[in-house]
Structure 1
């Protein structure tokens, strides 16, 4: 039988070989964990982005389901000042937006509420434009349409001492080649000089009232939006009181 002698060199060579294997395995395992961490971080980023997109889609669908629009909002006069500044800020951030200010000249041959851009706080960008006192929609999509009119009504009472009621109305019309005849997008009616305290307003004194409309609509390219307002001589056209605008969502 042949014997084998283990020398010190063989032992050292074996230990060195085992150490090299262990080091190599440890390095390989560390690389795998680093790769797994990177993939996990990427997955979390993608998941967060998809969650944000889903949230935005849910908001859009909640306002317009099956082509239906959100109900118009009629706001109280005390709220409209803050809403006006917020709408201007939102519309300036939009890619396409227009904000018009109202003017009225009772001495003109055809008295009407005239909308103007490029004056005061009015502006137009992103393809939305004013033409023939109408807002022209440049592209198909979702748009937030809004308008406010302010009145200063001269209240009076009859022979029996009762206050006369003056109906105030404001409406936004949509004209479209696909629809044909104009259709009403939003409208509101409010009565002025009603339930006035006996010592609150004297006969002939002004009574202030405001109508605000705003909702989301799906509009087509080339659609035209215009307004119709009664009691034009009672309109308040000072800065920030009467306006009309649209911005894309």
Structure 2
């Protein structure tokens, strides 16, 4: 009873509470709660957007770094290739073969393949495409030394020496490529050999499995070397890795 009496006295001192005032207080309370909820939601959305942007930005930088790394690898790991141009030089160091060079005309070397002692040196084991061409300008007049010869055989050969074959002191080369062309054949209505000059190119190429340290060279018959043509694109020898 005493508690109830105290509450009545407080209400009387403060005056009667209007229903309108109560409603306004409730609306104000709900408004503040709604504002608080909206503020909390806005903070959550902002945080989510920030982390999403940061993650995408990080992914972008990682992808950019990956692309740059790939480009560096591609630029640094050039495919092994070599292309040589050649001629017959009676005053050079290789009087019994075509003399090859990688610094004239379209000649070049990269990726470890190199020219050494007129031979191509293989830098590492793998599959390689080997190709070669020599061009000849031969006379088809009857040869006084061989009056009954009615044709001339032109040939081109690529040979290989490998460390697995033996030692440096006993180099035995094995034939990888060989091609032969026949020219100067008598015509059907003539008993003598064709007159004038014959131009002919002997080309060949194929894929081989080679080992590190293998050496490749070309072989041309000595009798044919003086008939070798000179000029850009006439004689070449090359290798490239697959």
TM-score bin (small chain): 0.5 to 0.7
* Aligned 1:149-168 pairs, distance under 5 A: 149-156=134-141, 164-168=150-154
* Aligned 1:108-127 pairs, distance under 5 A: 111-124=96-109, 127=112
- Rate the CA distance shift 1:14–1:194 in 2: closer, same or farther, 3 A: farther
- Rate the CA distance shift 1:238–1:197 in 2: closer, same or farther, 3 A: farther
Residue aligning to 2:209: 218
Distance 2:91 2:188 in 1: 34
- Rate the CA distance shift 1:42–1:218 in 2: closer, same or farther, 3 A: farther
1:100 correspondence with 2:119:
no
Q: For 2:179, which of 169, 178, 188 is the aligned residue?
A: 188
- Rate the CA distance shift 1:153–1:19 in 2: closer, same or farther, 3 A: same
Distance 1:116 1:30 in 2: 64
Q: In the alignment, is the contact (CA less than 8 A) between 2:184 and 2:194 conserved in 1?
A: no
Single out whichever of 22-31 and 181-190 deviates more from structure 2.
Answer: 22-31
Gaps of at least 5 residues in structure 2 are 1-18, 71-76, 143-148, 167-171
Residue aligning to 2:156: 170
Single out whichever of 223-232 and 102-111 deviates more from structure 2.
Answer: 102-111
Distance 2:177 2:208 in 1: 10
Could you state the TM-score of these two structures normalised by the residue count of structure 1? 0.58
Q: 1:152 offset after TM fit, Å?
A: 1.8
Q: 1:98 offset after TM fit, Å?
A: 3.6
Residue aligning to 1:82: none
1:205 correspondence with 2:196:
yes
Q: For 2:115, which of 130, 141, 155 is the aligned residue?
A: 130
Distance 2:208 2:197 in 1: 36
Q: In the alignment, is the contact (CA less than 8 A) between 1:97 and 1:246 conserved in 2?
A: yes
Q: Deviations over 1:167-219 (max 9, x none)?
A: 32212111001144423222222222469798xxx932222221223344333
Distance 1:107 1:196 in 2: 38
1:244 correspondence with 2:219:
no
Distance 2:188 2:98 in 1: 31
Could you state the TM-score of these two structures normalised by the residue count of structure 2? 0.59
Q: 1:149 offset after TM fit, Å?
A: 0.7
Q: Deviations over 1:3-34 (max 9, x none)?
A: x9551431221111121233234335545665
Distance 1:38 1:117 in 2: 48
Q: For 2:220, which of 225, 229, 242 is the aligned residue?
A: 229
Q: Which has the larger radius of gyration?
A: 2
Q: In the alignment, is the contact (CA less than 8 A) between 2:187 and 2:194 conserved in 1?
A: no
Q: 1:118 offset after TM fit, Å?
A: 4.0
